[in-house]
């Protein structure tokens, strides 16, 4: 039976760009493929939440999944300042 790759952790998190509209984060998501088969995946519908509120969606290109090993997926996300301000307003 083929299993989904398992999420392990986020590594190498860094802020790469900031401006008045938002900031961009880069990170590597570490996964483990428990299957003896590899392939390719295209992540869809990955979202960033802060305090249960969606603030952004992650963009990722299609990537290779090696068989029976751990692998990294580079992720980039731009978080708009407006979404952070809305969170602040919810706390007031």
Burial of 61 (0-12, 13-18, 19+ CB in 10 A): exposed
For residues 42 and 24, give the distance between their C-alpha atoms in angstroms, rounded to a whole number.
21
For residues 57 and 45, give the distance between their C-alpha atoms in angstroms, rounded to a whole number.
7
How many CB atoms are located within 10 Å of the residue 3 CB?
A: 9
pLDDT at 89: 75
The answer to whether 73 touches 63, Cβ cutoff 8 Å, is yes
The answer to whether 87 touches 51, Cβ cutoff 8 Å, is yes
Q: Would you give per-residue pLDDT tens digits along the chain (92 residues)?
A: 999 899 999 999 999 899 999 999 999 999 999 999 999 888 777 899 988 999 999 878 888 999 999 999 888 899 999 998 888 777 66
pLDDT at 18: 95
Could you tell me the residue ranges of all domains in the chain? 6-91
């Amino acid at each position: 039976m083929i299993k989904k790759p398992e999420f392990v952790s986020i590594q190498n998190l860094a802020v790469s760009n900031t401006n008045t509209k938002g900031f961009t984060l880069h990170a590597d998501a570490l996964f483990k493929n428990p299957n003896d088969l590899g392939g390719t995946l295209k992540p869809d519908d990955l979202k960033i939440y802060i305090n249960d509120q969606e603030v952004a969606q992650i963009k990722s290109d299609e990537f290779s999944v090696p068989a029976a090993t751990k692998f990294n997926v580079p992720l980039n996300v731009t978080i708009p300042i407006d979404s952070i301000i809305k969170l602040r307003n919810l706390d007031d």
